[in-house]
């Protein structure tokens, strides 16, 4: 603890000594940009499962801004969100690219915790890309790093992904072991979301090995925890798994329909198509088991035409079997044979012995009707072999269940022992810490006082130096102003005075009218009395006298008079009939449309629009 305090104060003193400024003021722009990045990332995560395109756009902006200011957490978090976008849409190559980029950034900047999460995501993508060796490599490394660094949340997430990979390669006891470890850790953290995910994963595993009572218990526990969180994706998946058990294993129409409705209420927008596919298979199986053939056929047809229907999946085999069975009851033998043969091929590839037996029974029935007793006999032999393999599988499942229970008990004992060791170590650390607490507190207070005194001294010194510099700047500024005033007075006194009568006065008037009529300097919106007096080579006071005596106007009235005449000319010009008042005011040298309106009304007594209307009504 003391070492950490000393390290932080050392860094603080280094900044003060080197830069001579408070730390909070060192990089104000970077701090602002970081806040913007975090806000963008929050928006990206909020839209992740509701509007993936919007989520991707926010994450992309966060990455670009992070790259500009060199903020690694913003970069890797942005890539993680983008990977999640492609993950939710099952675009594995794109998801893998962004997760790998996040891992590279975390490794480059030595961000260990982020690196652990990133390589776990990479391994999880490899799981769904059917590359088990790569998946196990990354996922096992992620769990090892998290366990070594005592990153409990990262370890739980990594264990869940590792268990999923074990499950996919049929290593069910290993999957149960890591799921159990993840659940135990989640319980120590009292984390509802992680407990819900772990319970649901165990429930799905029990479903695979045929222990449906345990599966329902775990899945419903998982749903109970997940309802307290915002993780609708996991909650939807859990409800769908419960619906599958009630539809296919423990046939219960009311429960199946209830959990189907709950799944539909919680499914994120990005998973709508997946829900439609799973729900069609589940309800089709339910109706088939309840002998509602027409309803079952409609649902299986819906599943068969769904874009997520994979030719090599258990759901597809079930769908093909039931469509074929329906055609058989409808005496559409050719269609039945086509679908049943496809179901047979899929079930053989995936070792789905229950499906294979039902398919062979239907095909045997077709052979018997056609008088093909040899074919029926061969299929009966295949049915016997499939029954034997099914019994072996069920026996393995029972053994697996027993092994899972042993693994869970061993893991629980190991976990409890580890918790006890951690508690003993924690108490030892607390005793050691209490011995040096007073010394550390004294050193900390001393260093804080030194820093505060240094800041006060430094701030007063800087304030004094800034005041001296400001006085120098003001002195130079006023010296320049005095020189310019002197120069201006000399120029004005050297200019010709138009109050003299005679040819010089007439020449000035002619020159003024030439500037107005021919050069039209009044069209310049920035024209000033000083500019006009310099152009006539008279001083500003004499220009004002000339305008007042000759034209009975001040400078602004004189300039606006010519501008109004120009406006009237443009309005009467047939080539300018469609010109707008805004453009007209700008063309005549007015800075604003309002100034133009006021000047026009002052000069003519009517607005420019009324002038234009009267001109059209009474053309010349």
More confident residue, 21 or 189: 189
Q: Which residue has the tokens 């050069």?
A: 519
Could you tell me which of 177, 255, 176, 166 has the C-alpha nearest to residue 216? 255
**In the chain, where are the structural domains located?**
503-617
Q: What is the mean pLDDT of residues 259-263?
A: 92
pLDDT band at 45 (very low <50, low <70, confident <90, very high): confident
Contacts of 310 (CB under 8 A, 6+ apart): 316
For all residues of the chain together, what is the average pLDDT?
Answer: 81
- Say yes or no to pLDDT of 508 above 80: yes
Q: What is the 3-state secondary structure (H, E, C) of 248-298?
A: HHCCCHHHHHHHHHHHHHHCCHHHHHHHHHHHHHHHHHHHHHCCCHHHHHH
- Give the Cα separation of 36 and 42 in Å (integer): 10
Q: Which residue has the tokens 């044979």?
A: 337
The answer to whether the CB of 247 falls within 8 A of the CB of 282 is yes
- Say yes or no to pLDDT of 401 above 70: no
pLDDT band at 202 (very low <50, low <70, confident <90, very high): very high
Q: What is the mean pLDDT of residues 523-551?
A: 88
CATH code of domain 503-617: 1.10.10.60
- What is the share, in percent, of the chain residues with pLDDT greater than 70? 81
Q: What is the mean pLDDT of residues 286-303?
A: 87
* Cβ count near 517 (within 10 Å): 11
- Say yes or no to pLDDT of 27 above 50: no
Q: What is the mean pLDDT of residues 106-127?
A: 90
Tokens at 119, concatenated? 């390589």
Contacts of 346 (CB under 8 A, 6+ apart): 311, 312, 313, 316, 317, 320, 352, 355
Q: What is the mean pLDDT of residues 235-255?
A: 90
Tokens at 378, concatenated? 């061969």
- Give the Cα separation of 553 and 214 in Å (integer): 100
pTM: 0.54
DSSP string for 208-264: HTT-HHHHHHHHHHHHHHHTTSS-HHHHHHHHHHHHHIIIIIS--HHHHHHHHHHHH
Tell me which of 181-195, 232-246, 270-284, 461-475 is least confident. Answer: 461-475
- Give the Cα separation of 80 and 74 in Å (integer): 10
Measured at the CA of 448, the angle between CA 446 and CA 454, to 5 degrees, comes to 105
**H-assigned helices in 330-372:** 333-350, 353-369
DSSP string for 509-554: HHHHHHHHHTS-GGG-TT--HHHHHHHHTS-HHHHHHHHHHHHS--
Contacts of 54 (CB under 8 A, 6+ apart): 43, 47
More confident residue, 530 or 434: 530
Measured at the CA of 569, the angle between CA 567 and CA 574, to 5 degrees, comes to 115
- Say yes or no to pLDDT of 498 above 60: no
210-218 contacts: CB < 8 A, separation 24 or more?
A: 210/394, 210/397, 211/397, 211/401, 212/245, 212/249, 212/250, 215/241, 215/245, 216/242, 216/245, 216/250
What digits encode the pLDDT tens for the residues 75-96?
Answer: 989 999 989 888 878 889 999 9
Predicted confidence at residue 17, as pLDDT, reads 35
The answer to whether the CB of 280 falls within 8 A of the CB of 306 is yes
Exposure string for 9-39, b = 16+ CB within 10 A, e = fewer: beeeeeebeeeeeeeeeeeeeeeebbebbee
- Give the Cα separation of 288 and 326 in Å (integer): 9
DSSP string for 72-139: HHHHHHHHHHHHHHHHHTT-HHHHHHHHHHHHHHHHHTT-HHHHHHHHHHHHHHHHHTT-HHHHHHHH
Torsion on CA atoms 111, 115, 116, 119, rounded to nearest 10: 180
- Give the Cα separation of 235 and 147 in Å (integer): 27
- Give the Cα separation of 211 and 176 in Å (integer): 13
- Give the Cα separation of 25 and 21 in Å (integer): 7
Contacts of 558 (CB under 8 A, 6+ apart): 547, 551
Q: What is the mean pLDDT of residues 178-199?
A: 91
DSSP string for 603-615: HHSS-HHHHHHHH
Tell me which of 312-316, 324-328, 479-483 is least confident. Answer: 479-483
- With H, G, I as helix, E, B as strand and everything else as coil, classify residue 187: helix
- Say yes or no to pLDDT of 97 above 90: yes
Contacts of 103 (CB under 8 A, 6+ apart): 115, 118, 119, 121, 122
- Give the Cα separation of 477 and 149 in Å (integer): 62
What value does the CA radius of gyration of the chain take, rounded to a whole number of Å? 42
Measure CA of the first residue to CA of the last residue in the chain; give whole Å: 95
Predicted confidence at residue 326, as pLDDT, reads 87
The answer to whether the CB of 536 falls within 8 A of the CB of 512 is yes
Predicted confidence at residue 200, as pLDDT, reads 93
pLDDT band at 4 (very low <50, low <70, confident <90, very high): very low
More confident residue, 31 or 243: 243
Predicted confidence at residue 467, as pLDDT, reads 56
- Say yes or no to pLDDT of 254 above 70: yes
């Amino acid at each position: 603890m003391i070492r950490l305090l000393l390290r932080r104060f050392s860094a603080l003193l280094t900044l003060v000594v080197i830069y001579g400024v408070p730390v909070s003021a060192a990089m104000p722009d970077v701090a602002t940009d970081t806040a913007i990045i975090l806000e963008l990332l929050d928006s990206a995560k909020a839209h992740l499962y509701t509007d993936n395109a919007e989520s991707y756009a926010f994450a992309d902006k966060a990455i670009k801004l992070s790259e500009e200011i060199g903020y690694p957490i913003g970069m890797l978090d942005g890539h993680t969100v983008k990977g999640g976008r492609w993950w939710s849409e099952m675009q594995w190559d794109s998801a893998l690219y962004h997760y790998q980029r996040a891992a590279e950034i975390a490794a480059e900047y030595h961000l260990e915790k982020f690196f652990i999460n990133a390589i776990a995501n990479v391994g999880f993508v490899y799981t769904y890309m059917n590359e088990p060796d790569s998946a196990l490599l990354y996922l096992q490394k992620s769990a090892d790093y998290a366990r070594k660094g005592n990153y409990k949340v990262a370890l739980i997430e990594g264990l869940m992904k590792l268990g999923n990979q074990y499950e996919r390669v049929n290593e069910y006891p290993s999957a149960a072991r890591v799921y159990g470890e993840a659940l135990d850790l989640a319980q120590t953290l009292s984390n509802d979301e992680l407990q819900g995910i772990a319970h649901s994963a165990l429930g799905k595993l029990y479903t695979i090995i045929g222990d449906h009572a345990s599966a329902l218990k775990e899945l419903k526990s998982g749903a109970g925890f997940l309802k307290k969180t915002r993780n609708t994706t996991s909650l939807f998946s859990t409800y769908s798994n419960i619906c599958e058990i009630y539809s296919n294993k423990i046939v219960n129409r009311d429960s199946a329909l209830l959990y189907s409705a709950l799944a539909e209420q919680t499914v994120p927008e990005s998973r709508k198509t997946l829900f439609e596919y799973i729900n069609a298979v589940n309800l089709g199986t339910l109706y088939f088991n309840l002998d509602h053939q027409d309803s079952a056929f409609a649902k299986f047809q819906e599943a068969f035409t769904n874009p997520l229907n994979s030719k090599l999946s258990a759901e597809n085999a079930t769908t093909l079997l039931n469509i074929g069975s329906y055609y058989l009851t409808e005496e559409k033998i050719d269609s039945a044979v086509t679908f049943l043969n496809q179901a047979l091929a899929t079930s053989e590839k995936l070792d789905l012995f229950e499906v294979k037996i039902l398919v062979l029974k239907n095909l045997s029935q077709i052979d018997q009707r056609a008088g093909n007793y040899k074919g029926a006999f061969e299929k009966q032999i295949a049915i016997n072999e499939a029954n034997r393999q099914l019994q072996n599988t069920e026996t393995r499942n029972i053994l697996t269940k027993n092994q899972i229970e042993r693994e869970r008990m061993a893991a629980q004992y190991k976990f409890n022992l580890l918790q006890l060791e951690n508690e003993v170590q924690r108490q030892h650390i607390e005793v050691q810490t209490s011995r040096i607490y007073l010394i550390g507190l004294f050193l900390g207070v001393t260093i804080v006082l030194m820093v505060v005194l240094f800041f006060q001294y430094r701030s007063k010194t800087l304030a004094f130096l800034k005041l001296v510099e400001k006085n120098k700047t003001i002195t130079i500024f006023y010296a320049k102003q005095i020189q310019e005033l002197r120069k201006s007075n000399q120029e004005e006194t050297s200019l010709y005075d138009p109050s003299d009568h005679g040819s010089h006065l007439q020449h000035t008037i002619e020159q003024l009218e030439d500037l107005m009529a021919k050069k039209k300097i009044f069209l310049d919106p920035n024209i000033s009395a000083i500019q006009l007096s310099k152009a006539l080579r008279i001083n500003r006071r004499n220009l004002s006298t000339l305008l007042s005596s000759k034209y009975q106007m001040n400078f602004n009235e004189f300039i606006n008079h010519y501008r109004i005449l120009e406006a009237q000319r443009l309005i009467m010009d047939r080539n300018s009939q469609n010109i707008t008042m805004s453009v007209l005011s700008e063309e005549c040298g007015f800075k604003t449309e309002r100034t133009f309106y006021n000047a026009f009304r002052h000069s003519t007594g009517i607005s420019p629009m009324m002038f234009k209307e009267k001109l059209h009504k009474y053309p010349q």
